[in-house]
Structure 1
């Protein structure tokens, strides 16, 4: 029995491919512009660190975004993917961990922020859009130095792409972005419960419990501490008074008996007696 498969080539007729060639110093501004549309879009980076950093930066710029990369726990991945699927955020910044096995309806745009190293990765990434007969756009951002490598990549993938040298205000960029969404103020995530509990203990927050018991225990501890210090002061004053009465003779001998071995204590007592 012979079983054969086709070589990995782009075969989706509803997917359009574009390569935007831009100066390196304008690349970040172009990324933010492409992320600012109203529809869902997946933006791929090469490293986990860059995915995390870019997701945070976009959110700070008023474009809600989450990241999906290998350093996240499974719970965090599920939570971020759910936020993207449900429309709470419009942008998913991901590494190749999201290139396969991730399906989200109505992803209108896939952006290769960093061109992938091989054509198979390009095809898997691009397959997040134009699913089930829907229309989709795939954009690869390339600097002028990367253009030749991207041309080779497209040829290996069997893709015919439109190459355009652009700036932020180019008409082709406006057409690909479409209607822009209103930017919203970035809201930092709330601290975790465990961290907040530790902070409240440091600041005495536990004393504000509804039944007042923690506050009583804290007050008792403070009172005991003050009482302890007071007792130490009283004992110190008493010791000074007794030392003054003894004029150093017996008190020296007594301390020698407490701190030295037996031989030393005998010597201390005899020395004390001689001094007396």
Structure 2
């Protein structure tokens, strides 16, 4: 089957030239399957993994809209600030041919500047649900003229509790009579409810199993003593020029970034408690190579798109196989090879084993887990299960000590065992 060109899909010639100048000559599968439908005014419900090219799939129909009368005619909702910013970066060059005005509405930035920009006139809004709803409720954002709305990573917005805000925003648009392009890594009850509420006979697309350009990605799990996790991570970083290291907590990301910096690895942390300027600065420094290591919580698992990441390191194991997949998807993009490393504490055999069994890949395991403690070994830190309710060494010692306490004087009792028990 011949791969269609962008012209075949109905993309404007000037936009196609802009794509060629960026080195984009051939539509990827998600684009080939959805762009024509989007340009024809059809609703789209697509399952598309990270890195499949879906941003361009919905940016092309948006970029060929006609300017409004100052009120937005297009709306894109994304779960994270970073993703919203990167969608804007893809969209802006495509809108120059018809002078569409694009504004990003995200938390951590000046709401006064947002209000001023909306007052001057905006054609396409790219935003996170929180800031967009805030401006809508203040009366500064009028969505009643929006005829094309996009939900990017709808499943992620559901995970983050944004769906009530999303429905309020969509209810304020005209997308029921117009069109909604819905993209998600998974199609479940949440996306099904959105489809039934806002779409009419959508074009359904699933590119999850469509071959796309992929490099060879190796997965290795290093099982080490907990106190050796950082030194093991540093050894991995020594072999790579660009790395994203994932931690479970915000505090852990800050701490690890400081520790890696002291060890000679240029590192920056990114998580939800950082201001938007700090997050953008960290991403920019990482993208340009000024910083070699980005230490991040799961906010970066789907919210950023940076090419040429040599290695992804799971410093803390993720909670689910889906999180592991999205984290790991930051490397091996666009046909490049990649490396994924998990640094697994040897005392986490049960958690690591459950996660490994739920993955679609079989990582190479380097090292072994701690053997279970025996009856004769120390039980410090282990749950005290299976102890008999009566008898046993501890109770025997307690009973033997009681007669001795009774023969002490009153003064001795007040200074002796009772004080010790406190």
Rounded to whole Å, the distance in 1 between the matches of 2:241 and 2:247 is: 19
Q: Determine if the alignment matches structure 1 residue 23 to structure 2 residue 219.
A: no
Q: Which consecutive unaligned segments of at least 5 residues does structure 1 have? A: 167-276
TM normalised by structure 1 equals: 0.55
1:163 aligns with 2:365: yes
Pick one of 101, 105, 112 that aligns with 2:303: 101
Where in structure 2 are the equivalents of 1:135-150 lying within 5 Å? 135-150=337-352
Query: SS of 2:348's equivalent?
Result: helix
Residue of structure 1 equivalent to 2:320? 118
1:87-236 alignment runs, 5 A limit = 87-165=289-367
Contact 1:21 1:147 in 2 (8 A): no
CA RMSD across the alignment: 2.2
1:36 aligns with 238
| Post-superposition offset of 1:37 | 3.3
8 Å CA contact retained: 2:215, 2:333: no
SS at the partner of 2:342?
A: strand
What's the CA shift for 1:155? 2.5
Structure 2 contact 241–292 (Cα < 8 Å) conserved: yes
In the TM superposition, residue 151 of structure 1 has moved relative to its aligned partner by: 2.8
Q: Which has the larger radius of gyration?
A: 1
Which of 270, 273, 286 does residue 68 from structure 1 map onto?
Answer: 270
Partner Cα distance (1:104, 1:69) in 2: 16
| Higher RCO (CA < 8 A, seq sep 6+) | 1
Equivalent pair of 2:311/2:341 in contact (CA under 8 Å): yes
CA contact (8 A) 1:55 1:93 kept: yes
User: Per-residue deviation at 1:148?
Assistant: 3.4
Q: 1:151 to 1:5 in 2, by over 3 A?
A: farther
TM-aligned CA deviation for residue 36 of structure 1: 2.7
CA distance in 2, matches of 1:73, 1:99: 18
- Partner-residue secondary structure (3-state), 2:264: coil
Cα distance, 1:5 vs. partner?
A: 5.1
1:6, distance to aligned residue in structure 2 (A): 8.3
Deviation at 1:108, TM superposition (A): 0.7
**Normalization by structure 2: what TM-score?**
0.37
Contiguous gaps of at least 5 residues in structure 2: 1-200, 369-422
Task: Mark the CA change 1:107 to 1:13 in structure 2 (over 3 Å): closer, same or farther.
Answer: closer
Sort the Cα spacing of 1:147 and 1:5 in 2 relative to 1 into closer, same or farther, 3 A. farther
1:50 to 244, 252, 276: 252
* Whole-Å separation in 2 of the counterparts to 1:145 and 1:6: 39
Number of equivalences? 164
Structure number with higher helix proportion: 1
Once residues 339 and 285 of structure 2 are traced to their aligned partners in structure 1, the CA distance between those partners, rounded to angstroms, is 22
2:283 alignment partner in structure 1 = 81
Secondary structure of the structure 2 residue equivalent to 1:128 = coil
Distance 1:6 1:22 in 2: 38
User: Are 1:111 and 1:140, in contact at CA under 8 Å, matched by a contact in 2?
Assistant: yes
What is the CA distance between 1:157 and its match in structure 2?
2.2
Deviation of the 1:7 alpha carbon? 8.1
The more displaced of 118-127 and 36-45 is 36-45
How far apart, in 2, do the equivalents of 1:13 and 1:86 lie? 22
Separation in structure 1 between the aligned mates of residue 205 and residue 289 of structure 2, nearest angstrom: 40
1:214-246, Cα deviation, whole Å (9 max, x unpaired): xxxxxxxxxxxxxxxxxxxxxxxxxxxxxxxxx
> CA-to-partner distance for each residue in 1:43-68, whole Å, 9 max, x for gaps?
00000001011111111121110011
Q: Which residue of 2 aligns with 1:214?
A: none
Q: CA deviation at 1:23?
A: 1.1
